[in-house]
Amino acid sequence: MKFNHKYLSLLTIIIIFSIWFGITGDGFALVRKFIFPSPRQVFEAILRISDIIPLDILYTLSRLIVGFFLGSVLGVTLGLLMSYSKIINSIFDPIVESIRPVPVIAMIPFLIMWFGIGEIGKLVLITLGVFAIIVVSTLEAVKNVPKIYVRAAKTLGANDNQIFRSIIIPGMIPGIVGPLRVATALSFTLVVAAEFMGAQQGVGYRIMEARRLFVTDVILLNVIIITILAGIADRLVRYITDYLTRWSERK
């Protein structure tokens, strides 16, 4: 009988929850409740702020989705253009290489000065972070498309445009699956950082507000919410990319 490895994941979750329960006030109280809240405290926090949690999630996800979409589309588009045209590559390569090593969070002071604390600055922060990952990953994915496919297409009489549309673009998709997952995770980090910039709604704003008031159960609750949302988003990206690359030999 084959063992279902999904049970191991469930077991890991149970162990983590048991440790959390045991070291906090619900168990042996090894840590003070204001340092690390117990499961009961987090549940009480859910009841206390249940009316604002859905709205916070809505604001956070709306910012994240728009920023991730813009960053992905711009990154893939520019990456494909740079791989297709040596002129475009020569123009944009210095720009891409100069912004790629810079932690985008370091740009927050400038974004506040340029765009204020409104929505534009938050979207620009997320878009830049995703763009920096996707544009480089697209370039590398195009380079890693097996050359034998290109040579076979040329042998059959395909021109450069046909090769690019029919070979390069489909062939590079498996190469950006990993970077897309990394960009998804980074988006959640950036949206929380963006909401630290001066939002009035959102999961990140709620964490900052709770930090100022030292309400640690609300802090942990929102960290858990971000973790769950990030996990769902990662699963969704994996499902979509697995469907798009079902023809490949990815495992």
Render pLDDT for 180-211 as a digit per residue (tens, 0 to 9). 999 999 999 999 999 988 778 899 999 999 99
Q: In this predicted structure, what is the pLDDT of residue 127?
A: 95
Task: List CB contacts of 4: < 8 A, sequence separation 6 or more.
Answer: none
User: What span, in angstroms and rounded, lies between the C-alpha atoms of 199 and 9?
Assistant: 36
CA 234 to chain centre: 8
Q: In this predicted structure, what is the pLDDT of residue 157?
A: 81
Over the chain, what is the mean pLDDT? 88
DSSP 133-144: HHHHHHHHHHHT
DSSP 129-178: HHHHHHHHHHHHHHHTS-HHHHHHHHHTT--HHHHIIIIIHHHHGGGGHH
User: What span, in angstroms and rounded, lies between the C-alpha atoms of 65 and 49?
Assistant: 24
More confident residue, 173 or 3: 173
User: Where do the domains of the chain lie?
Assistant: 1-31, 39-244
CB 57 within 8 A of CB 44: no
User: Residue 82: which pLDDT band, with cuts at 50, 70 and 90?
Assistant: very high
When pLDDT is averaged across residues 205-228 and rounded to a whole number, the result is 93
Architecture per CATH, 39-244: Orthogonal Bundle (1.10)
- The DSSP call for residue 106 is G
Q: In this predicted structure, what is the pLDDT of residue 30?
A: 85
When pLDDT is averaged across residues 151-177 and rounded to a whole number, the result is 83
CA distances from 50 to 47, 90, 110, 232 (A): 5, 53, 35, 21
| Residue closest to 75 by CA, chosen among 148, 181, 183 | 183
CB 196 within 8 A of CB 208: yes
Q: In this predicted structure, what is the pLDDT of residue 250?
A: 56
Structural tokens at position 192: 């929380």
When pLDDT is averaged across residues 227-234 and rounded to a whole number, the result is 94
When pLDDT is averaged across residues 23-40 and rounded to a whole number, the result is 85
Q: In this predicted structure, what is the pLDDT of residue 107?
A: 87
